[in-house]
């Protein structure tokens, strides 16, 4: 999950954070890292560019982007299915 954290930090330009500053189960939005809707779009781009995964809909994004652990699990579950 450290690699995913590094990718999130780079994609969202979170220069003040290190991977170890982000808990695996820490919420990414609101009370956790405090990400917003623009950050959500950047995370969608990250999934598409790095992993060739597209979200089915916005509701799916809410559960996928709950934490780094939920993102990692989603990538693991979908990586083989969505590659071109």
How high is the mean pLDDT in each 10-residue block of the chain (84 residues)? Answer: 96 95 95 92 95 89 95 92 50
In the prediction, which pLDDT does 82 show?
45
- Which 8-state DSSP code applies to residue 29? B
In the prediction, which pLDDT does 47 show?
96
- The rounded distance, in Å, linking the Cα atoms of 5 and 69 is 10
Number of helices (H), then strands (E), belonging to the chain: the values are: 4, 0
Degrees to nearest 5, angle at CA 72 with 39 and 49: 55
Strand partners, 29: 35
In the prediction, which pLDDT does 80 show?
72
In the prediction, which pLDDT does 79 show?
84
Q: Indicate the domain borders of the chain.
A: 1-10+25-30+56-84
In the prediction, which pLDDT does 44 show?
95
């Amino acid at each position: 999950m450290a690699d995913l954290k590094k990718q999130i930090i780079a994609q969202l330009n979170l220069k003040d954070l290190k991977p170890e500053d982000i808990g695996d189960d820490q919420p990414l939005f609101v009370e956790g890292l405090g990400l917003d809707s623009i950050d959500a779009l950047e995370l969608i781009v990250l999934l598409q560019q790095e992993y060739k995964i597209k979200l089915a809909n916005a509701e799916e994004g809410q559960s996928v982007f709950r934490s780094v652990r939920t993102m990692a699990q989603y990538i693991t579950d979908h990586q083989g299915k969505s590659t071109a």
